[in-house]
Copies of this chain bind each other. A is one copy, B any other.
Amino acid sequence: MASIKDVAAEAGVSVATVSRVLNDHPSVSADARTRVLAAVETLGYRPNAVARSLRTDQTHTLGLVISDVMNPYFTELARSVEEEARALGYSVIIGNADERPDLQDHHVRTLLDRRIDGLLVSPTDGGSPLMLDAARAGTPMVFVDRWIPGVDVPVVRSDGRAAVRDLVAHLHGLGHRRLAIIAGPAATTTGRERVEAFREALGAYGLDLPDAYIGQGDFQAESGRLVTEGFLDLAEPPEVVFAADNLMALGALDAVRARGLRVPDDLALAAFDDIRWFVHTDPPVTAIAQPTGELGRAAVRALVDRIEGRPGQSVTLPARLVVRRSCGENPTPVQRSTT
């Protein structure tokens, strides 16, 4: 592969001049410029990004460590992150933590070794020493979706509280009184928050959230199935199950069908995270939709701001309830409590 020296030789100039042409530095004669560009063309020269990065200490690359690539929510997030990054002149390296803190650390480490310019993370746990060190050491970093409390890093996420209130209003309006939740891992912020928001919203209707109605899941499908089976085995099973993410909702659907029961007649179902497939399931699933694309884009903008020396804003966007048929028939549009 041709290097800058070859181009210089071909054009009859020094490597410095070639470099100046390539980075369009002002003081290059028109003549030299055309000769260099011609040489670049004939040799099919492309600058070596590795060498350039070593010298400039910039890779124009962002690292994105997500919790689970098989989760459509994160897939969509990854997609919007890559799009926005590309628009701003950055590439993205994605690492899949698969909800495992050890894998998350592995990816953070290799990304730092590659000297990526900045890191976008949705942490699977409460914060490993490695990540805390990186944050303290000043690596530009932004948390997206989930975050680690007490670390001085911008957070881009959506606030589901209002939507959870809307959901509970909807459920209450349909006559449901025994409401259960399949929670995410307590080590994650979203895992905790969704339970709290649910409990609070229930409280506004004088309803309780007993421990038996809080099932511990791990954001993956199998845990949703197991927790739902547990609910169905209770002496007094819940009327509604609220799954804290889309995969656990699928597991719940599985459990209900396996017993020959029906949604929503025997058990109503709602989920956090709206995905395309929920329109096509039987019945279509009522869900809380996050502005996923916006989150990804805002996260990239915040990160690039930090990288380029600007402040880097935390962003919180509202989620909204999408009513379908999985909680009961005849859905009447629910007013959002905030906009």
Contacts and interface: CB of A to CB of B under 8 A. Distances in A.
Nearest to A91: B110
A17 to B, nearest CB: 21
A59 interface: yes
A305 B179 CA distance: 55
Q: Most chain-B Cβ atoms within 10 A of its Cβ — which of A48, A109, A280, A282?
A: A280
A69 interface: yes
Given A79-B69, A221-B276, A281-B280, A93 B91 contact: yes
A290 to B, nearest CB: 16
A69 B78 contact: yes
A287 to B, nearest CB: 14
A109 B50 CA distance: 14
B59 A69 contact: no
User: Dominant SS at the A interface?
Assistant: helix
Given A276-B221, A277-B250, A280-B254, A51 B48 contact: no
Q: Most chain-B Cβ atoms within 10 A of its Cβ — which of A1, A106, A254?
A: A1
Interface in A78-109: 78-79, 82, 86, 91, 93-94, 96, 106, 109
A334 interface: no
A151 B114 CA distance: 32
A110 to B, nearest CB: 6
A93 B92 CA distance: 8
Interface of A: 1, 44, 46-51, 53-54, 59, 69-70, 72, 75-76, 78-79, 82, 86, 91, 93-94, 96, 106, 109-110, 112-115, 133, 137, 221, 250, 253-254, 257, 276-277, 279-283
16 contacts: A48-B54, A48-B115, A49-B114, A51-B54, A69-B79, A70-B72, A70-B76, A70-B79, A72-B72, A79-B96, A93-B93, A250-B276, A254-B279, A257-B280, A280-B282, A282-B283
